[in-house]
Structure 1
Amino acid sequence: MQKIKSIFKTTGTKNGTYSVGLTVIVIAIVVVANLIFGQIPEKYKNIDVSSTKIYDITDTSKELLKNLDQKVTFTVLAEKAGADDRIKTFLSKYSSLSKNIKVEWIDPVLHPSALSEYDTSANTIVVACDDTGKSTTVSFSDIIVMDTSSYYYTGNATESEFDGEGQLTSAVNYVVSDSNKNIYRTTGHGEATLSSSVSELMTKNNYKVNELNLVMDTSIPEECDLLLMYAPSKDLTEDEKTAVEDYLAKGGKVMILLGETSSADLPNIASVMKEYGMETEDGYIADPSRCYQGNYYYIFPELSVSGDMAKGITSQMVLLTNAHGMNLVDPARDTITTSPFMTTSENAYAVTEEAQKQGAYTLGAVAEETISGDSAGKTDADTSENDGESDDAEQEEQKTGRLTVISAGSLIDSQITDTFTQLENTTLFMNAVSSNFDGVQNISIEAKSLGTEYNTVQHAGLFSLLVIFGIPLLILISGFTVWYRRRKA
């Protein structure tokens, strides 16, 4: 026993005991720290260091989830261990933003009946709300989008976009919402076709886009929540003009995006606009003060948006080409109020082959008119029969007719929106659409690119010389100076 005690009194044993004790303490600290950090919410544990910020969640989604007061279940029909880590991480971060979202994983291999129960395929997220009884599905392939066109050039399909937030936010909004909006897009006047990216944003916002040929049927359906004319190259007929005016007079909503056709060739459309206080100016708009790289016809308009129109607008950067100018004039009735939300600078010009007219021009405006829904379209005799109705009833029957005009269809041209993804063209357009509906805001969120981003240095010649020759020479000089001083000492 004495020998054993003497062993522990040696210097080596004491140092060893100290090391073992210190190791045990460090291990204990690590275990306790892991237990503590394990309780931290998922949204704080995962930091997005990716170049495209695919895990970042916009304020639009955060606001939707913050105000979510109905239980929503995400049922993921996939093997969790084999699922893409990006999808698992995003689901965890997204669901952590609301206590009313529950995520369940079901392995379809172990539970094959689940696919029949939910009537869908594997690698799918079923989003459902019991309170509304509505459900929808989001496929993994809708979240991680493949560029199939690259297959024809390289033999492999590459990942192009990550659309986790856009798909899930749209799904949540759909299952908790009790109403959907019908948008009728006019045809028969040489209108342009909505790009795939804009159509997808419409779908994400749960807007159903239908086609309406006013040439064949001049009546506008009662379920039409918004009549959209996108870059018409031919004018309305007199009957079509009357139908549009009657629709507005009954509280309808109309949105016109002008194309490259001159207003002189569209007199009936120009007449509708003038009735609501907007008069088109001949020629294309050039703005030397707010143009893209010296091209005066590629202009960045000044935005004056507020309320729903300002949702998601942060950079105030929108690019237009081949824009027509408008001047605000007195509307046909005092009940109409016209307000601009997009203008040029004061140094802009309306350019025609004959002249250049300087001034500040309106590029986007909204005209509203409050109308009594009961008296719209009725005669004075019909109206006089309702004189005894209460003021409250009249207030309930009031509707608001709304005409939105954007003088450049290039606002949503794919050549601009797909090339300059950092601009807010599509956000402004979707806000303008959503502003026509009470209680509806733009929740359509664009996908994030998964393309490889390269760090580039402008004027790299001087920088390269500095790195290759300057820094090594500086180190050599410093080393020689230190050596020389020591040698002299």
Structure 2
Amino acid sequence: MNKLKSIKSIGRGKGVKGLKNSFHTSGTKHGSYSVGVTVLVIAVIVVFNLIVGQIPEAYRNLDVSSTKIYDISDTTTELLDSLESDVDMTVLAVRDETDERIRTFLSKYDALSNKINIEWIDPVLHPSALTEYDASEDTIVVSCADTGKTTTVSFDDILVFDEYSYYYYGSMSYTSFDGEGQLTSAVNYVTNDVERTIYQTTGHGEGELSSTITDMLDKNNYLLSETNLLMETAVPEDCDLLLMYAPTADLSEDEAQMLRDYLASGGKIMVIFGETGASELANLSGILTEYGMEPVNGYIADPSRCYQGNYFYIFPELSVSGDMAEGISTQMVLLTYAQGMNLADPERDTISVTDFMSSSDQAYAITEDAQTEGSYAIGATATETVTLSSGEDEDSSDTSADSEESEESEETAESRLTVITAGSLIDQGITDSFSQLENTQLFMNAVTANFEGVQNLSIEAKSLSVEYNTVQHAGLFSMIMIFGIPAVILIAGFAVWFRRRKA
């Protein structure tokens, strides 16, 4: 019996000692180290997530999309930096159900300025808010208490729905994201008391402005109206800019005189020619010649600055400055079948004419009968400082006092005539197909340059279409990728197989 107990005690002692020894093996040590490292890593990740969670959403969301829909342009940054009044943005939507792209962009926009205040109101929990703000669900109400102005931005205007894809294929998709353009336009509207009216002429077979251009004019808060000068005795008094786009018929002599009188009173006119050139419109051409712009016959071909070998698809040289240079960085504008002008001496010394868009000096004006080499203006501006009298001639005395009062009553204004000889500058087929070009930016700058103290704030929507990295022109590189690399791999594999087979 005692022998049995002693055996048990010895076995018990060896078991405890063996168990202790098992924790001192190299495998156990490595396992303990791995567990410790794992616990430490998990702890670091938890702490890191807690810290990141405290960072505002605007700073922890990185834009890695190819279209950079969250990037904010300098135009918006400069506007928000100059704000003197608070702007309230009330979002009438269920936040958790709102598209993540809209939520992210709003948070980034809110962080740009302490003058921007964004508040979310759930219309399901607070249905009276829709009546209070006189707006529908999924709408942003933008207001400024200092000016008393209010406007709304619908989510549908930010995320543009692809109706074609839905009705024909039954798929839900979006074509573009216009968060910055819509919000910046709304902020500019509610904080700005000045409104500009642009009258577009009719009655001469004018072309129709594309939706891209009208949207950009609207974003800049320009009011676009129409006027038929044949039915008027003068250009409307509230006209800030008279726009004539792609006319196919000439002005009457009375209309031409109206334009001369309008310019003489400090008016602003912008003419964009289409397929019918100025040389074919005698009365309109006469006004241009008076201001130092002589139209030439034919289309401009420029072999040194053409698109993929098509001499009539040209990239003109830009010479812009001041307001005209705002946002112009690539200097790339594409025109098709442009016509040209030669700059000459104006009829009056008070007129100054300069070009801002021209061909190279290796271009040609092509007609059916001739090819005339030279450098041609495609876009030019003529300005003139004119004197405006008060029109008050109650006292016709010749006293010196009356003379001084007459001089003091005179005011001056600057008339401006802008001419672009290529309607393709704002052709939708070009502006929508080549979004990287600056056609629309140059056009909007030319419009805005007519208004003192006004900045071009129209920002184009960003496409949501998928971009593919494809080789567009087959050549040596394509042949190498398609045949060369696979051939090298096959040869190398055969060499390795053959060497191992011999071994």
State the TM-score, normalizing by the size of structure 1: 0.90
Return the match for 1:11 from 3, 14, 24.
24
Task: Establish whether residue 261 from structure 1 lines up as the match of residue 276 from structure 2.
Answer: yes
Alignment of 1:285-304 (within 5 A): 285-304=300-319
Question: Residue 442 of structure 1 aligns with which residue?
Answer: 456
Task: Establish whether residue 69 from structure 1 lines up as the match of residue 84 from structure 2.
Answer: yes
Determine if contact 2:144/2:150 at 8 Å carries over to the other structure. Answer: yes
Unaligned 5+ segments in structure 2 are 1-15
| RMSD across aligned positions (CA) | 3.0
Question: Residue 164 of structure 2 aligns with which residue?
Answer: 149
Return the match for 2:227 from 188, 196, 212.
212
Question: Residue 399 of structure 1 aligns with which residue?
Answer: 413
Question: Relative to structure 1, is the Cα distance of residues 49 and 32 closer, same or farther in structure 2, using a 3 angstrom cutoff?
Answer: same
Determine if contact 1:182/1:209 at 8 Å carries over to the other structure. Answer: yes
3-state SS in 2 of match to 1:89:
helix
| Range 93-102 or range 469-478, more displaced | 469-478
Instruction: Specify the code of the residue in structure 1 equivalent to 2:24.
Output: T
Distance 1:455 1:388 in 2: 72
Distance 1:376 1:303 in 2: 42
Count residues in correspondence: 480
Q: Offset of 1:454 from its aligned partner?
A: 2.1
Determine if contact 1:42/1:96 at 8 Å carries over to the other structure. Answer: no
Return the match for 2:403 from 355, 365, 387.
387
Question: Residue 359 of structure 2 aligns with which residue?
Answer: 344
Q: Offset of 1:185 from its aligned partner?
A: 0.2
Q: Offset of 1:210 from its aligned partner?
A: 0.1
- Residue deviations 1:36-65, cap 9 Å, x none? 434545444222111222112222112212
3-state SS in 1 of match to 2:108:
helix
Question: Relative to structure 1, is the Cα distance of residues 110 and 233 closer, same or farther in structure 2, using a 3 angstrom cutoff?
Answer: same
Distance 2:391 2:216 in 1: 34
Larger-Rg structure:
2
Alignment of 1:117-128 (within 5 A): 117-128=132-143
Question: Residue 482 of structure 2 aligns with which residue?
Answer: 464
| Range 344-353 or range 459-468, more displaced | 459-468
- Residue deviations 1:311-354, cap 9 Å, x none? 12111111112211111111121111111100110011112222
Q: Offset of 1:372 from its aligned partner?
A: 2.6
Question: Residue 326 of structure 1 aligns with which residue?
Answer: 341
Distance 1:86 1:361 in 2: 46
3-state SS in 2 of match to 1:368:
strand
- Counting aligned pairs with the same residue, the percent is 59
Task: Establish whether residue 195 from structure 1 lines up as the match of residue 199 from structure 2.
Answer: no
Question: Residue 45 of structure 1 aligns with which residue?
Answer: 60
Task: Establish whether residue 250 from structure 1 lines up as the match of residue 241 from structure 2.
Answer: no
Distance 2:495 2:424 in 1: 59
3-state SS in 2 of match to 1:105:
strand
Unaligned 5+ segments in structure 1 are none
Distance 2:188 2:497 in 1: 66
Distance 2:136 2:463 in 1: 26
Question: Relative to structure 1, is the Cα distance of residues 216 and 38 closer, same or farther in structure 2, using a 3 angstrom cutoff?
Answer: same
Alignment of 1:99-118 (within 5 A): 99-118=114-133
Distance 1:480 1:374 in 2: 99
State the TM-score, normalizing by the size of structure 2: 0.87
- Residue deviations 1:52-80, cap 9 Å, x none? 22112222112212222321122111111
Determine if contact 1:8/1:14 at 8 Å carries over to the other structure. Answer: no
Distance 2:115 2:445 in 1: 27
Question: Relative to structure 1, is the Cα distance of residues 430 and 11 closer, same or farther in structure 2, using a 3 angstrom cutoff?
Answer: same
3-state SS in 2 of match to 1:399:
strand
Question: Relative to structure 1, is the Cα distance of residues 468 and 230 closer, same or farther in structure 2, using a 3 angstrom cutoff?
Answer: same
- Residue deviations 1:171-191, cap 9 Å, x none? 111111111110000000111
Q: Offset of 1:283 from its aligned partner?
A: 1.5
3-state SS in 2 of match to 1:283:
strand
Question: Relative to structure 1, is the Cα distance of residues 136 and 312 closer, same or farther in structure 2, using a 3 angstrom cutoff?
Answer: same
